[in-house]
Amino acid sequence: MVVSAFLPGVALTDAIALNKILDGDDNTGTGADTTGRCIYSAAASDNTVTVYVYIAHY
């Protein structure tokens, strides 16, 4: 079992900030982040993304 958080409609700048806190990455641009504990989709036309955060597994 994997526990993760699904956060739709997050501002891209917030997703990048959260990703930096959790994964230490300095992401830029509007492309998707697909590695680490915090991943997010490519930005939509309104500059929002869907964020997935790994929490734990059992």
What pLDDT shows up at residue 31?
A: 87
Q: What is the pLDDT of residues 5-48, one digit of tens each?
A: 999 999 999 999 999 999 998 887 888 999 999 999 999 999 99
Predicted TM-score of the model (pTM) = 0.88
pLDDT of residue 26: 80
**What pLDDT does 25 receive?**
82
Any idea which residue has 């929002």 for tokens?
48
Domain encompassing residue 39: 2-57
Domains in the chain: how many in total?
A: 1
- Residue 51 has a pLDDT of 97
pLDDT at site 47: 95
